[in-house]
Amino acid sequence: MRKIAGSNGPAVAPDSVGASRFLTGIRRWRAKRHAAVLFLAGALVSCGGGGGDTNGDAPPATGDGGGGSPSVSIASPTPGSTVSGNIDVTADVTIGAGIAGVQFQVDGANIDAEDTVAPYSVAWDTTTASDGSHELTAIARDMAGNLFTSAPVTITSANTSQPPGPPSPARVEETNAAVTLSANWTQATPDWYAWSGGAAVRSAVPGAKATYTFTADSVTWIGQRSNVSGIARVRVDADPTGVLVDLFAHNVETNSPVFSVNGLSPGSHTLTIEVTGDRNPGSQGSVVVVDAFVVPAPVVSHLQETDPDVAFTGVWAQADDRFGWSGGGLATVPDPPVGGARVSESSGAKATLTFTGTAVNWMGFRGRDGGIARVQVDGGPAITVDTYSPADKVQAVVFTATGLADVTHTLTIEALGTKSAASTGRKIVVDAFDVTTPGRRYQEEDPAVVYSPGNWIFKNLNRTWSEGSISESSVDGAFVTFSFTGTSVSWIGCRKLSTGGANIFIDGNLVQHVETFEPAPIEAYQTTIFRIDGLSPGPHVLKIVVAGSGPYTVIDAFDVRP
C-alpha cells in the first residue's frame, strides 16, 4: 500500500529553480487518499450550482446549441486533401433530438462500426482503398432513428506513390503480450488519474520486473512521477548494471515519459524495469508505475497552461488544485503557486496554444461535470469535444492532432458553455499540452553534453522537467557544450521569473543572445528557448554561456533533427 509518513515536505535547497512550498503537495496527496470521494462530491455540488447563464435544460452535445437546422459534416479530412496511412475521419454533428451515433462510410461502404460516443470519429486505414479519388460521408442517427447524411467529401488516397515517411510512434500498453510482468505488480491507483489505455500497474516490491520486447532503435517508458515514487533500475538487453531512474517528483505527473533509450542497433531488444525499493530522500514511497511504452521514442515537450505560448481570452479561473493537475501545487517562494490548471464554464472562453511540431495533445479533464468545447487547429474545421465522463479523470488527454507539418501551428480550445444531458456541469479544463517534434531528444546528462567544471547544479527535480530533471547554473560565464550531428538543433529549457540570459554559439560563432526572464504568473517548462534550422549536414557544437541578468539558466534537453 502507498503509505504517507511524516508531516513535513521534503527539504529543498532554497537556491535552486523551483524551490517551493512542497508541504502543500504532500498534504494534498494525503488528503486525496482519505477524502477523495467527499471532495469530488463537493466539487459536483459547487459546479452544478455555478453553471452560469446557460439554461439547465440545454440540449445534449450539439455543436452550436442554437436550435438551428440539423447539420452533419465531415470535419476531417478536408475536401481535396491527399491522405495516406492511418487517419482519423471526424464529423461535426448538430441534430435536434440527440445523437445516437455516427456511421462513417467510404464510397458508400461502412468504415468500422457506428461511433456512439462524441467526439465522432473513426480510424481509417487508407491503404485498404486504392490510390485515387474517394468519397467520405458521415451518417448521423438520432434517438428517434432518423438518419442525417453529410455532404460527401472527396479526398485522394495516395499510399503506393508516397515515399516512406518516418515510422509513426506506436503506443504499447502494459497489457500487451510484448510486456512480461513478474509477480508483485498490482493495478495502479488512484483511478482518477487518466492512465494510458485506462489502466497501469504498480509495484514497490524490490525485484519486481517488467520486461518489454520491441523491435526499434529507441523506446520510451511511460510511467508516473510523484512524491511517493521510488527508484527503478532500467536495463536494455543483457546490460548487467543498467541505469537508475529516480521517479520522485513533488507533484504527480501521470501518463508521463519517464525514461527513453535511443541509438540502439537494428533488431529486437528488451527493456527491463526493476523495482529497487530505494527512493529519493524526498520521496515518501518507492512505487514504480508501468503504464505504457512508445516505439520509437518520440520527442515530446509537455507544456503547462502557464506557458507564454498559451493565450487565454474570456472568463477563466484557477482550477481547484486538490484534483492533482499536471504541474499543480508548486510555488516559487515567496509567491503562491501559479500553475495547476485553468477552468471555464463560460461560452466563448478561449485558450490558444501556438506551437511548432507535428502533433499536439490537449491535456485536461473528463468527468461528471465536464462540458463541451470546440477545438480548431490552424483555424480549420471545428471539432466538438465533449469532456463528460461518468468517472472523473484528471491529467486526461482529451484531444489529439497528428500528422501536422513541422511548422508553427495554433490550437484553439473554445468553451461552449454547453453540456451533454448526463453532465452536471460545463467545465472545460486546460492543464497542459504535449507537443511532438521530429528528431531525437538528448537529456541534459547525455555524454554529448559537457559542462564547464564546478559551476553547475545537477539533478534538479523540482518541476515538470523533461524526463524529470535539469541542470542549472547561476554563474556568469558558466557554459555547456552539446555536440551533435544534424541540420537542426533546439535547446529545451525554462522561462520564468527566476531565469535569465544566455549567449548561444554554433560552431564557435555567436548566433543569438536570449533572455528567458518572464514575469509571474508565466512559467514555461520544457519550452524551446532556441532553435536553429538549415545547418550543413554533419557534426556541430552548440554552446550556451550563462550571461548574467537573472538567477538561473536551465538545461533540460536538446533536440536534434537530421
Residue among 466 and 488 whose Cβ is closer to Ca ion = 466
DSSP 8-state secondary structure symbol assigned to residue 471: E
Least distance in angstroms from the C-beta of 257 to Ca ion? 10
Stretch that binds Ca ion, among 213-221, 243-251, 369-377, 549-557 (CB under 5 A): 549-557
Least distance in angstroms from the C-beta of 395 to Ca ion? 9
Among 246, 253, 274, 556, binds Ca ion (CB under 5 A): 556
Least distance in angstroms from the C-beta of 157 to Ca ion? 39
- Give the three cell numbers for residue 162: 508516397
Residue among 201 and 397 whose Cβ is closer to Ca ion = 397
Contact string 442-481 vs Ca ion (x = CB under 5 A): -xx--------------------xxx--------------
Residue among 224 and 443 whose Cβ is closer to Ca ion = 443
Three-state SS for 45-72 is HHHHHCCCCCCCCCCCCCCCCCCCCCEE
Least distance in angstroms from the C-beta of 324 to Ca ion? 10
Alpha-carbon gap, residue 325 to 132, rounded angstroms = 46
Least distance in angstroms from the C-beta of 424 to Ca ion? 23
Alpha-carbon gap, residue 474 to 454, rounded angstroms = 11
CA dihedral 528, 532, 533, 537 (to 10 degrees): -120
Q: What are phi and psi of 182, to 5 degrees?
A: -75, -175
Alpha-carbon gap, residue 540 to 551, rounded angstroms = 29
Helices (H) and strands (E) in the chain, counts: 1, 45
* Binders in 281-310 for Ca ion, by CB under 5 A: 304
- Give the three cell numbers for residue 410: 495554433
Alpha-carbon gap, residue 154 to 152, rounded angstroms = 6
Least distance in angstroms from the C-beta of 526 to Ca ion? 8
Could you tell me whether strands 393-401 and 359-366 are parallel, antiparallel, or unpaired per DSSP bridges?
antiparallel
Length of the chain: 562
* Binders in 337-356 for Ca ion, by CB under 5 A: 341
- Give the three cell numbers for residue 536: 550543413
Least distance in angstroms from the C-beta of 556 to Ca ion? 4
CA dihedral 412, 390, 425, 394 (to 10 degrees): -50
Least distance in angstroms from the C-beta of 470 to Ca ion? 5
* Binders in 416-435 for Ca ion, by CB under 5 A: 431-432
Check binding of 527 to Ca ion (CB under 5 A). no
Residue among 115 and 392 whose Cβ is closer to Ca ion = 392
Residue among 220 and 466 whose Cβ is closer to Ca ion = 466
Three-state SS for 537-559 is CCEEEEEEEECCCCCEEEECEEE
CA atoms within 13 A on the CB side of 36: 15
* Binders in 316-335 for Ca ion, by CB under 5 A: 325-327
Q: What are phi and psi of 45, to 5 degrees?
A: -60, -45
Whether 219 contacts 293, CB under 8 Å: yes
| Three-state secondary structure call for residue 329 | coil
Residue among 155 and 557 whose Cβ is closer to Ca ion = 557
Helix (H) or strand (E) holding 299: strand 299-304
Residue among 153 and 222 whose Cβ is closer to Ca ion = 222
Least distance in angstroms from the C-beta of 465 to Ca ion? 5
Task: Kindly determine how many residues on this chain lie close enough to bind Ca ion according to the rule CB under 5 A.
Answer: 14
Least distance in angstroms from the C-beta of 277 to Ca ion? 25
Contact string 30-49 vs Ca ion (x = CB under 5 A): --------------------
Residue among 173 and 556 whose Cβ is closer to Ca ion = 556
Residue among 16 and 326 whose Cβ is closer to Ca ion = 326
Least distance in angstroms from the C-beta of 278 to Ca ion? 21
316, 224, 233: which is closest to 277 by C-alpha? Answer: 233
Least distance in angstroms from the C-beta of 179 to Ca ion? 25
Alpha-carbon gap, residue 273 to 296, rounded angstroms = 17
Q: What are phi and psi of 136, to 5 degrees?
A: -105, 140
Residue among 45 and 317 whose Cβ is closer to Ca ion = 317
- Give the three cell numbers for residue 107: 464510397
CA atoms within 13 A on the CB side of 166: 19
Alpha-carbon gap, residue 235 to 134, rounded angstroms = 48
274 bridge partner residues: 209, 233
Residue among 28 and 134 whose Cβ is closer to Ca ion = 28
Least distance in angstroms from the C-beta of 19 to Ca ion? 18
Instruction: Name the one residue in this structure whose C-alpha cell is 555567436.
Output: 510
Stretch that binds Ca ion, among 109-117, 125-133, 500-508, 554-562 (CB under 5 A): 554-562
256 bridge partner residues: 223
Residue among 326 and 436 whose Cβ is closer to Ca ion = 326
Residue among 326 and 490 whose Cβ is closer to Ca ion = 326
Contacting positions for Ca ion (CB under 5 A):
304, 325-327, 341, 431-432, 443-444, 465-467, 556-557
